[in-house]
Copies of this chain bind each other. A is one copy, B any other.
Amino acid sequence: MSTDALTPDRILEATEEVLRRYGPAKATVVDVARALGVSHGSVYRHFRTKAALREAVTERWLERAVRELAPFADGPGPAAERLTAWLSALFAAKRRKAGADPELFATYMVLIGESSRVVAEHVDHLVGQLARIVEDGHRQGEFAAPVTDATTTARAVFDATDRFHDPAHVADWSEPDIDAAFDAVVALLLRGLRA
């Protein structure tokens, strides 16, 4: 295994594994190097700081999440249905990840708190996907004439559903009424878009 060249990708893989095993507080660069069978100096050859390494891991993770959602944004069908499906998929994915492995989810919550730049870009990507749906809705006459540009509207939809995708609200996602609350918010937003 350690006969292969030491690439950024191999380091990121090892870093994810170390984070999964030890958590964000205990995971060290030395651990990552040990997992790869190299000295920690070699890791610093590919990532200037520990923060940069963790940021890269976060970026990869968020990119995967964005890719999972793309089909819902670009698929066929009426914009309202795609919007509902996209928001539901986002909510479901977050809940699934939080529920399946709470410790790993908590780990990524810590990483997310560390790299605001990467998170802001991630949010921009998601809002971009939403904006494509909103634009289609306008074009097909399904949504009322735009009162602002699609990105602003998309951002409003994203903000309004914050409670259902922001990891800060993870504790709320296991409450019994949460699905009803989600449906009520989405219904209200759709009425606003169609108005």
Report yes or no: A181 in contact with B159, Cβ–Cβ below 8 A: yes
Q: Which of A25-33, A46-54, A162-170 forms contacts with chain B?
A: A162-170
Contacts of A161 in B (CB 8 A): 160
Question: Is A152 in the interface zone, CB < 8 Å from B?
Answer: yes
**A178-195 vs B, Cβ < 8 Å mask (1 yes, 0 no):** 001100110111111111
Question: Is A6 in the interface zone, CB < 8 Å from B?
Answer: no
**Copies of this polypeptide in the complex:** 2
User: In chain A, residues 72-108, which have Cβ atoms closer than 8 Å to a Cβ of chain B?
Assistant: none
**Secondary structure type dominating chain A contacts:** helix
Q: Interface residues of A, CB < 8 Å — how many?
A: 29
Question: Is A156 in the interface zone, CB < 8 Å from B?
Answer: yes
Question: Is A1 in the interface zone, CB < 8 Å from B?
Answer: no
Cross-chain contact of A188 among B153, B166, B168, B187 (Cβ < 8 A): B153
Question: Is A40 in the interface zone, CB < 8 Å from B?
Answer: no
A178, closest chain B residue (CB): B159
Q: Which 6 A-B pairs have the closest CB atoms?
A: A192-B192, A160-B160, A156-B184, A191-B192, A191-B195, A188-B192
A sample of 15 cross-chain residue pairs with beta-carbon separation below 8 angstroms, ordered by A number, consists of: A148-B184, A153-B188, A155-B181, A156-B181, A156-B187, A159-B163, A159-B181, A159-B184, A162-B169, A168-B168, A189-B189, A189-B192, A191-B192, A194-B195, A195-B195
